[in-house]
Structure 1
């Protein structure tokens, strides 16, 4: 079971980082939602929390300083101009390696303590599931952000294929027509 969870986490990490490929510095950093969600910020956020959850929670502190969890101010969700793509992706890879070592070396029933959770006494299994869920959730955000930027979809370069814009437009129009039929009183744009 541990190997399966770890393989899933690794695959999702790779997919998330792949979403940055071929994009400009501006596009990976720019806010694409009302709350400022951006691709490189998602990577930074996941690196920070993976290092914390699969590090210090199990008395295996990450070798690089992390902000105190009590001081969380959202700065892990965006990237300052002096932080490079390479630094953030490198941080994510190091956090992943550190987390992988924790997962590999400790039994799934290893106890930990997450002081900011309502039920703070946890096991490694529970934290792995939490991190995997969070990583999948944010990888889904990244999927949508990337599609919004340039239409690119998929989970990796092997899944990348040319965009048939006419087919996409027809599919979207069909869905829009069904939505309008379901709510005939909807104001038309």
Structure 2
């Protein structure tokens, strides 16, 4: 199994964010779970990679050439795939991953997980998507998702398909037994993808 990890290229304003990223990398490695991530040596990205590598894990980075040229690529990875642009990065990460874990981060982190969550709703893939809710970081976002349900823009089943927990062990256990809901636009009698 290989999980994609979306997280910040910054470390945030609390040591708990960096500590959790490092610990998640270590836990994944100890469980024999490979990681694929954005390839950076900075911020939470670097922390999750360093944690996994320190525990003997397999870590694949995927980075656009423009960022490699800015010298922010992690040089100690198991493998670094260099791609032309951000779209190619997301495509490659999705190809390699059997699930998507989100740690604290900014706009890029949210864009990455929301795309995968949308694709899961549409049945483009049937991989789990989740948030490691470190120090309540995602609480406001989870409230917004609940608001989208109550306002009639999101079905409850699609909100519930997100695995959200502050406990990394629980997140991995729920990923292991994940069953996707029916895809969004499937009608009775329609052929599957």
With normalisation by structure 1, the TM-score equals 0.27
Higher Cα radius of gyration? 1
With normalisation by structure 2, the TM-score equals 0.26
Q: By percentage of residues, which structure has more strand?
A: 2
